[in-house]
Amino acid sequence: MKNILKKKLEEKHIKILMTIVMAVFICIAIFALSFFIFDAVTKKRPAQIRQECTQLKEFEWVRSDKRVPVSLPCDLKTAKGENVVLETILPESITEDTWIDYYSSKETRIYVDGELRKEFNPRINTIIGGTVKSFHMYIELYPEDSGKVLRIERKGEAFGENSFREMYIGNSLGLIARILYSDSLFFIFTISLLIVSPITIGIGVFLRVYKKMKSPITAIGIGVLFVALWLIFDSQMYQFAFRSYYIDGTMSFIMMLLVPYPFAYYLNMLQKNRYRQNYIFLLIILEIASIVFFIIHFTGTCDFMTMLPVMMIFTGLVIVGAGVTLFVDFKKGLYKEYRFSFIGIIGFMFSCILEMIFLIAIENRHDGSFIIFGLYWTLVLGIVHQLVELREAKAEKAIAIRASETKSNFLANMSHEIRTPMNAILGMDEMILREAKNNEKIMKYATDIKSAGNMLLAIINDILDLSKIESGKAELIETDFEICSVINDLINITRKKALDKGLTYSFDADPNLPIRMHGDEIRIRQIMLNVMNNAVKYTVTGGISINVLLEPNIGDEKAMMIVSVKDTGIGIKDEDKEFLFESFSRLEETKNRNIEGTGLGLNISNKYIEMMGGYIEVESEYNKGSKFTLYIPVTVVDPTPIGDFTDAVRKMNEEREDYRTIIMAPGAHVLVVDDNEMNLEVICGLMESTKIKVDTALSGPEGIEKADHTRYDLIFLDQMMPGMDGVTTLEIMRSKYDMRGVSVIALTADAVVGAKEYYLSKGFDGYLSKPVKSEELEKTLITFLPKNLLLSKDEIERIAIKDDERKDEKNKTTESLPGILVIDSDPESLKTVKNEIKDTYKGTFVTDIDKANKFLEKHETKYIMISRELYEKKMRNEVENG
């Protein structure tokens, strides 16, 4: 309590202190402001600061026959080429530090009392075509010049039009202050535009390059830059800031010719190319005119200054054209697409008009403040426009990401949903293949189902891959792998297809290929298989040849595996090559209609190979053939060369033969948990030949319950089960029972990259993807069942022989049994009868009389057994029909 009170008091003190600090600050600020206002208003200037500047206005124009009084500024009309001489009497009271400020660009001599004080000859130092712009010349006066004659001799203009600006007399401070007052604010604002515009351009380029956004502000930035340069070159301050006056006279004209381009580009971008042709047309006219202006100016025929009105007309033409498009957009309501920039440009145009009005209304006014304001206005609104677009793009991106996530989820779910029934189809089909060995027709049907089913699975996998890649979730899983095994499998898959089509198939592997490498084996297989399959698919005559070699040491301890696949197939048109790696893009669709494919393979391959840091090179000639070269970076693990490839493969296959013994483990007890009965049937069927005792459970809790009673050697646990999923089931099992030595394998339908790692991290020992393939299942059993439960090769053979004998025996006995046709509409009773008579009769079981009649048309049977109900029905029918 005491503490809290103390704290509250402290807080109160701090607040009082803060208020005092703020109050003192405000007082000082108010004092400073009042001090300034008092000083400024009462204009108390110390007498030492002398700022003198008055206009020297009244002159006499000295002509050969008379003296004409003139008042500066003025325009004097002379005969062509006649020089102009002006004279005036200097004031009586000239003190130290007195100067005359004379503003001109013409060849001039200035005399005081007949003594030459200043000479300016613009022809000295000019570069070709350089125009000297007007600049300030300063002539120093001394006390003894008081009341003397000031004489200005100026070379006459070729056309007899001589323009004189204001002339000033004063001390240096006064003359400089005058220029600062008249021009500096304009100059500073223009310079600031010169700084802001490159920043705007930079932001625009950044957005374009990194955000892949359209960035009209780049164009407006460039436009503003040119106008700013134009104004600066034209400014009176230029000579003080840059100490040059020769070329800048020309530069301002060149800038003026350049200005319309970025603005037209800017507008065109905003208007989404609606008036592109009009702009191109106007700019071409301006370009032709500009070239003519350049030639005329730089050959010295006539300078830019003289051509200015004509140049203005051409520049104005583009501006008028732009104005018309803006008007049309306004009328159609299209301006709303770029309303901020629209207001910006209209503001700029308005500022230009104001500037012109003031220029005409007030003679010799050189200000440009309206234009500067207009430029800032456009620039700011252009940036606002870009910011709005950026925000919208962000929102759109978020929506797109959400949509893409939804798509990915949908695809993942869909693939799961399809893979689950496919598991049943392919599993059952596998059992048909095993059981129907003697029936060729059924075997053919089952083989067709298998190949179509596998193709469907491949398509689903492709779509799943694509969605992973697009959502950025695809990752590489690198392991050590044996290149011989990869190549051998791929050859096994593709060679048969090629030979079946009557194509030649040649394969060559560099004997120096290292035995073991490190990389994403599954993806490498996938990429190679895709390209090899394509070569077979898109080749009608001739053949395909494959070559694998390794370029060692490409840096980063990596080597480059180079796989080239060449075919003499249909080839690819040059114009189609750019679409080759796009998703769902199949070239020449009509021609290739009969060739199966989705147009996804190369897209996926290309993306995976890029993730690995490699690339695909394509050379192809239409109707002649193609060559796809894969550059795959790998790490060499064991550099021992593979030597002759055929030998290496033979050796590897021998090792594999040993490994691939048929497995049998009559002593093993396995539990399979899956909510789908058909899947349970498939997996049990696939394990039938292994003689393993298999228990099944239809849910997680049922599995847990079963594991309570029995100690299983191996448990297969489905992931996606309603109620309790596999991961939870496993957690409960592991917490409840001693599961040491019991391996648990995850069964899952989502063939997602990284799924295996996920399940291992969740405590599973292995992972089996659905549809379960018999070889994979066998491999899993061999790996995870306790070794002492697996029968040896000899034992298996012995049992297999015995089984065959028993089967033959059974077949024989069944053949010799008397035939019986059982008719009953209730399938359950049929099943019971079937079990009852299986050892005494060779039975045929049907559910209605029609089927029985059909059977009897073609077969003979010794006995017929019919249910009472059907028998009575038959009798009734016969009586009714007479």
Per CB under 6 A, residues contacting ligand ADP are 530, 534-535, 538, 567, 569-572, 580, 586-588, 592, 597-603, 626
Token duo for residue 47: 């007498």
CB-side neighbour CA atoms (13 Å) of 491: 19
For residues 601 and 771, which CB has a smaller minimum distance to ligand ADP in the complex?
A: 601
Nearest-angstrom CA–CA distance, 734 and 97: 103
Of 568, 563, 561, nearest in space to 547 by CA:
563
Least gap, CB of 536 to ligand ADP (angstroms): 9
What are the residue ranges of helices labelled H in 140-275? Answer: 172-179, 185-210, 216-234, 238-242, 248-258, 260-270
Q: Distance between CA atoms of 103 and 135, rounded to whole angstroms?
A: 5
Closest CA relative to residue 629, chosen from 551, 557, 574, 555 = 551
User: Could you give the CA distance from residue 370 to residue 367 in angstroms, rounded to a whole number?
Assistant: 8
CB of 605 to ligand ADP, least distance (A): 7
Q: What span, in angstroms and rounded, lies between the C-alpha atoms of 234 and 304?
A: 13
CA-angle at 730, arms to 727 and 734, nearest 5°: 140
- The distance of closest approach from Cβ of residue 479 to ligand ADP in the complex, given in angstroms and rounded to an integer, is 25
Residue 750: CB minimum distance to ligand ADP, A: 23
Tell me 605's DSSP state.
H
Q: Which residues contact 407 (CB under 8 A, 6 or more apart)?
A: 467, 470, 471
Minimal distance, residue 563 CB to ligand ADP, in Å: 13
Could you tell me which of 202, 310, 218 has the C-alpha nearest to residue 256? 310
Q: How far is the CB of 430 from ligand ADP (least distance, A)?
A: 26
3-state secondary structure at position 64: coil
Closer residue to ligand ADP, CB minimum distance, 254 or 600: 600
Residue closer to ligand ADP (CB basis): 582 or 803:
582
What minimum distance in Å lies between the beta carbon of 596 and ligand ADP?
Answer: 7
| Nearest residue to ligand ADP on Cβ basis | 597
Q: 288-296: list long-range contacts, CB under 8 Å, 24+ apart.
A: 289/314, 290/257, 290/314, 293/257
Residue nearer to ligand ADP on the CB measure, 622 or 855: 622
Phi/psi zone of residue 169: left (φ > 0), alpha (ψ -120 to 50 degrees), beta?
A: beta
Helix residue spans in 638-725 (DSSP H): 645-659, 677-687, 700-709
Quote the CA–CA distance of 691 and 803 in Å, as a whole number: 11
**Smaller CB distance to ligand ADP: residue 615 or 871?**
615
Q: Which is nearer to ligand ADP, 115 or 582 (CB)?
A: 582
Contact 825, 845 (CB under 8 A): no
Q: How far is the CB of 457 from ligand ADP (least distance, A)?
A: 15
Nearest distance in Å: CB 769, ligand ADP: 22
Q: What are phi and psi of 570, to 5 degrees?
A: -75, -15
The CA-CA-CA angle for residues 170, 172, 175, to 5°, reads 60
Q: Smaller CB distance to ligand ADP: residue 603 or 743?
A: 603
Other CB atoms within a 10 A radius of the CB of residue 227 amount to 28
Residues in the chain: 882
CB of 606 to ligand ADP, least distance (A): 9
Beta-carbon neighbour count of residue 176 at 10 Å?
19
Q: Is 838 helix (H, G, I), strand (E, B) or coil?
A: coil
Only one residue has tokens 């000579």, namely 239
Name the residue type at position 179: I
- For the bound state, the minimum distance from the C-beta of residue 551 to ligand ADP, rounded and expressed in Å, comes to 23
The distance of closest approach from Cβ of residue 468 to ligand ADP in the complex, given in angstroms and rounded to an integer, is 17
Residue in 767, 774, 771, 763 with CA at minimum distance from that of residue 753: 767
Q: Which tokens is 513 given?
A: 């290929």
Q: Least distance in Å: CB of 533 to ligand ADP?
A: 8
- Name the residue nearer to ligand ADP (CB basis): 323 or 599: 599
Q: Identify any residues that bridge with 865 across adjacent strands, giving them in sequence order.
A: 822
Q: How far is the CB of 602 from ligand ADP (least distance, A)?
A: 3
Nearer to ligand ADP, 577 or 842 (CB): 577
Closest to ligand ADP by CB, 580 vs 747, is: 580
Q: Find the helix or strand (DSSP H, E) in which 372 lies.
A: helix 369-435
- CA 772 to CA 233: how far, in whole Å? 80
Q: Which is nearer to ligand ADP, 298 or 622 (CB)?
A: 622
CB of 548 to ligand ADP, least distance (A): 17
Decide: 83 and 51 in contact? Cβ < 8 Å: no
Rounded CA-CA distance 628/622 in Å is 14
- Give whichever of 626 and 729 is closer to ligand ADP, judged by the CB atom: 626
**Can you tell me which residue has the tokens 């600031």?**
192
| Secondary structure element (H or E) that encloses residue 693, with its range | strand 693-697
User: 76 or 535: whose CB is closer to ligand ADP?
Assistant: 535
Q: How far is the CB of 542 from ligand ADP (least distance, A)?
A: 12
Secondary structure string (H, E, C) spanning 484-500: HHHHHHHHHHHHHHHHH
User: Smallest distance from the beta carbon of 534 to ligand ADP, in angstroms?
Assistant: 3
| Residue 633 backbone phi and psi in degrees, to 5 | -70, 135
C-beta closer to ligand ADP: residue 358 or 622: 622
Complex with ligand ADP: residue 494 or 861, whichever CB lies closer: 494
Q: Residue 627 Cβ, how far from ligand ADP at the closest point, in Å?
A: 8
Chain CA centroid to CA 97, Å: 68
235: amino acid identity, one letter: S
Q: Which is nearer to ligand ADP, 626 or 861 (CB)?
A: 626
- The Cα 762–Cα 753 span in angstroms is 16
> How many other C-beta atoms are found inside a 10 Å radius of the C-beta of residue 779?
16
Tell me whether residue 574 or residue 795 sits nearer to ligand ADP (CB atom): 574
Q: Which is nearer to ligand ADP, 358 or 581 (CB)?
A: 581
Burial label, 418 (beta-carbon count in 10 A; 0-12, 13-18, 19+): middle
